[in-house]
Structure 1
Amino acid sequence: MTGYWLLPRLCQWMGNGKEKGFTLVELLVTTIIIGILAAIGMQNYIYQVGRARETEAKNNLGAIARGQQAYHWEHGEFADDVSKLGISIPEKYYQINTTWQNDYVKHQAQAVNPEKDQVRNYAIGVYHNSGSYAISLCQSLDVNGSVNVGDTPDADCVGPNTIKIK
């Protein structure tokens, strides 16, 4: 018997039986708008992640170049392998390839998954001439594009659609 008088009072308190809430159309419009915003945001997010990975590759190549200069200063020759430089370079997104000569060394940062990560490839060269060092850095303009540095610091980048950064 006590529950009988509670139900009418509860209905009065909740708005005299009037329905409250959103219609199906309102919910669908909201869902569509959120979906569009998420799609736009995801593209921007992927682009920014790719640029961050490229920055990491350039920083790693810079560390390798400085390590090569120090190694050459101490040993009179460039190291033929990055492991001899005493620096740790993660190869999660980029693999480092080395070409070695007496008066220069070239390192290429080749993307491991270029299409998935949307990243470009890079190459750096460290050159020694008459007691001074020079560095050349090149970048491919296309995702997974071929790139290398020249045999001298003043040479153009090797490969189609490349640009010399330094």
Structure 2
Amino acid sequence: MLNKAPADWFRVAELAPGVWGIGEFGHYEEVLSFLLTGDDEAVLIDTGLGFFSMKALVQELTDLPCRVINTHSHFDHIGSNAEFAEVALFDHPLSHKYAHEGVGAHELAYWITPKQFTVPRPPLPEPYTIQPFPHARYFQAGDTINLAPYTLEILHTPGHSEDSVSFYDASRG
């Protein structure tokens, strides 16, 4: 289990009613995650670096059950996936690899050197790894995620990563 974050690690802003942006700006990657609350459940888009518990933060923002959907499988977007019971990613070999293997300390070593932080490096789990999340489910381009009042269409948008996707809600543009 990941530790609760220092008070200044996550920066949270309510962007619209029931829609939060969650930033991890103390790291060079400046990761952004988004929490959408629907009528009966919440969806977290990306779980950040996994240095600290994203689940604990989500539970401070909503009492609704929360599932995770990932934009892609890079370490800075799947870091806390293992904390959540429901996780879904684009059906691609990269997604399967990280869901079943996690990310080891050797592969992550560069990303936790002091020069990767824009603030003094906080105490991190030792060793810093990203745990596998073999319970993940997979979606395809064109699938939809229903989160009343949102309906998110999955668009395969490779570029940054071969398994990158975007989520589009046609009712909101």
- Give the TM-score normalised by the residue count of structure 1: 0.25
Ranked by relative contact order (alpha carbons within 8 Å, sequence separation 6 or more), the top structure is 2
Answer 1 or 2: which has greater strand percent.
2
Q: Which one has the largest radius of gyration?
A: 1
Answer 1 or 2: which has greater helix percent.
1
- Give the TM-score normalised by the residue count of structure 2: 0.24
